[in-house]
Amino acid sequence: MTVISERFSAHNSFLYFPYLGRLSMSPASFLVCLAAAVAAAQGMTLMEEIANAGSTTLVELLKSTGLDKAVDSGYLTVFAPTNDAFTNLPDNLTQTITGNATILNAVLSFHATSAIFRAQDAVPNMLIETLLKESKIRVNVYDDNAGGSIVAVNGARVIKADIPASNGLLHVIDRVIFPPAGSFYDLVAMSDVHKELKRIIDSVNYKSVLEGHVGTFFAPTDDAFKSFGAMLTARGVDFNGNDVATKEFIDYHMLDSVVYSIGAKTGMYNTWDHGESLGVMMNANGTAKINQANVILGDIPATNGVMHVIDSVLIPEPYASSIVIG
Ligand SMILES: *[C@@H]1O[C@H](CO)[C@@H](O)[C@H](O)[C@H]1NC(C)=O
Ligand SMILES: *[C@@H]1O[C@H](CO)[C@@H](O)[C@H](O)[C@H]1NC(C)=O
Ligand SMILES: *[C@@H]1O[C@H](CO)[C@@H](O)[C@H](O)[C@H]1NC(C)=O
């Protein structure tokens, strides 16, 4: 069982790497922003403000790629991960990012936009174009349980907002963010642990639903389907060829809202389409359960929301009473 909030835990990075390997590596040049550069006003530049905010790892990475000069010659909104955010990446992932200039450039480009984004303008599910071509940041706004709200960008919490610089605006975030590698369907299709899920989705021609529906998708692993299948066999139940039931099962794995771990709370969440709900349990130790299933890898960004990998198949209400969950 893995901590949902430590989404790229070393323990589970094997699941993540297939996704990273398929990042679309077409970083728009920072130079594009030069055209939009405005005369520097008074005050500290973005690079100075990033350092001033304590994000010195980001400063070093930008300098190592030569992007520091580009940042200060543009007019940008920058999302600066804290030093801890970089430290918390597993070694593996840190090596992959820092050891390859193309990947590093892409990841860094995903942390900046030539648009002006202020935290007060945050609206759930607004998409922000980034300097990484065709890759957008999804904004979410969640309750903070204290009467306020949390602004999140691709699941990273904005912890210091709207720091003005002479050539843009800076937000400090608590995680390194990654561009979505595709839709829910693409993520499932490119993974080595969702072969059965893909087969089932394809069997009812559900690709377009998994590409078009904006929300949260809980993706059971092949192991989850293995135990599920054994359980059905033991009870003499067979859903093969029953398209209505199959679609209902898939729908039951989707929420109608985009719930990253930073915004997840214990309680009931509406599923997509059938007026049913899923029980979410956020444990104090950082683990999470969806009904009876454990989240084993959380917060995988998709172009149409967020995907969490779970270790058990979720069973919708009409079938739950006939299939006792062991
Ligand atoms: C990265 O981590 C995975 C899973 O822990 C491991 O199988 C792989 O060998 C590691 N790769 C490197 C380069 O360390
Ligand atoms: C860097 O990563 C890109 C994208 O994955 C890959 O095409 C390229 O071969 C890598 N370069 C090196 C030197 O490994
Ligand atoms: C986390 O807490 C839950 C609920 O108390 C417990 O069932 C689970 O075993 C704990 N997991 C770990 C890894 O400590």
Digit-coded pLDDT (tens) for 278-314: 999 999 888 899 999 999 999 999 999 999 999 999 9
The distance from CA 4 to its chain's CA centroid, rounded to whole angstroms, is 12
Task: Find the residues whose C-beta lies inside 6 A of ligand 2.
Answer: 25, 100, 102-103
* pLDDT value of residue 323: 67
Which pair of tokens denotes residue 324? Answer: 């006792």
Q: CATH 2.30.180.10 occupies which residues in the chain?
A: 19-173, 184-322
Q: Which of 119, 117, 100 is nearest to 27 (CA)?
A: 100
> How many residues would you count in the chain?
326
Spacing of C-alpha 127 from chain mean position: 13
Q: pLDDT tens digits, residue range 103-118?
A: 899 999 999 999 899 9
- How close is the Cα of 93 to the center of ligand 2, in Å? 14
Which ligand is nearest to the Cα of residue 92, counting in written order? 1
Which ligand places an atom closest to the C-alpha of 281? 3
Confidence of residue 77 (pLDDT cuts 50, 70, 90): very high
User: Which ligand ends up closest to the CA of 103?
Assistant: 2
Global confidence as pTM: 0.86
Residue 1's pLDDT is 32
The CATH T-level fold of domain 19-173 is FAS1 domain (2.30.180)
| Pairing, β 254-255 against β 267-270 | unpaired
From atom 8 of ligand 3, which residue's Cα is the shortest distance away? 287
User: How far is the centre of ligand 1, averaged over its atoms, from the C-alpha of 301 (Å)?
Assistant: 21
Confidence of residue 257 (pLDDT cuts 50, 70, 90): very high
What is the layout of strands, in order, in the sheet containing 76-81? Answer: 112-113, 76-81, 168-173, 156-165, 149-153, 136-143, 127-129
Each residue's pLDDT tens digit, 120-159? 999 999 999 999 988 999 999 999 989 999 999 999 999 9
Count of CA atoms in the C-beta half-sphere (13 A) of 143? 6
Whose Cα sits closest to atom 13 in ligand 3? 1
CATH 2.60.200.20 fits 184-322, yes or no: no
Q: What is the pLDDT of residues 157-216, one digit of tens each?
A: 999 999 999 999 999 999 999 999 999 999 999 999 999 999 999 999 999 999 999 999
| pLDDT band at residue 5 under the 50/70/90 scheme | very low
